[in-house]
Amino acid sequence: MSQSFTEENYLKAIYKLSRRSDKGVSTNALAERMETKASSVTDMLKKLAAKKLVNYEKYQGVTLSKKGQQIAVDIIRKHRLWEVFLLEHLGFSGEEVHQVAEELEHINSETLIDRLDKFLGYPKYDPHGGPIPDSKGVFPEPKRVKLDELEVGRKTKVMGITEHSDAFLSHLKKLGLELGTNFHLKERFDFDRSVEIELNGKTVQLSYDVAKNIFVSHNS
């Protein structure tokens, strides 16, 4: 069975919205995410339910079926692999990436995506730190952690960020932090959860708001 782009986008949206609340996803939440009307969502949910891609009961919200989840995860795999390609090989940066990957993720060829995966060296994380599931839909063990959770004393490395505003990016740049930058976590101050790190011999302070948006490696 095959899905339209629209159906795939609904499945992906349901997947993402399900992550942070193990209740079913509400029609309105989905409508907002999809930038459409609640009535349109209801129509689509009926269609997806008929295809057994979601579990849907009137007024009760929706969850993904096994099949629906597989499809959603596969789209995420494609999206993230394309992001790696765009960022690491085509020199994309910032916002453009996401927009283009949104289109590329719907290209429908197992061969293509497996070869792309190989070309990229079987990456386990995208440049924003998002884990990339393998061709069977299995996510890698996360051996990354947000900087606000790392133990004091560790030597570590920037693996990704979870905030992509220009303001944040330029702030990081000024601090000397970018993807792959190695540094040492010296101290954490409990009263505001800010941290002190050392990179390239310089000591730098990072607020909690900065630290919580930085993924760092947690090697063993």
Nearest residue to 43 (alpha-carbon basis) of 33, 52, 31:
31
Strand partners, 173: none
Report the nearest approach of DNA to the CB of residue 219 (Å).
32
- 8 A C-beta contact, residue 128 and residue 164: yes
Report the nearest approach of a copy of itself to the CB of residue 109 (Å).
5
By CB under 7 A, residue 55 contacts DNA: no
Which residue in the set 46, 115, 143, 155 belongs to the binding site for DNA (CB under 7 A)?
A: 46
Instruction: Please list, in sequence order, all residues whose beta carbon lies within 8 angstroms of the beta carbon of residue 219, skipping any fewer than 6 positions away.
Output: 143, 156
Q: Residue 167 and residue 216: Cα distance in Å, rounded? A: 20
CA distance readout (Å), 4 to 9, 60, 103, 143:
9, 25, 12, 35
Count of residues engaged in binding a copy of itself, rule: CB under 8 A: 19
Question: Candidates 31-39, 91-99, 153-161, 164-172 — which segment interacts with a copy of itself by CB under 8 A?
Answer: 91-99
By CB under 8 A, residue 205 contacts a copy of itself: no
CA distance readout (Å), 220 to 59, 122, 141, 144:
46, 20, 12, 10
By CB under 7 A, residue 22 contacts DNA: no
Residue 119 or 189: the one with the smaller Cβ distance to a copy of itself is: 119
By CB under 7 A, residue 21 contacts DNA: no
**What does 76 interact with, of a copy of itself, DNA, none (CB < 5 to 8 A by kind)?**
none
By CB under 7 A, residue 42 contacts DNA: yes
Q: Under the rule (CB under 8 A), what is the footprint of a copy of itself?
A: 86, 89-92, 96, 99-100, 103-104, 107-109, 111-112, 115-116, 118-119
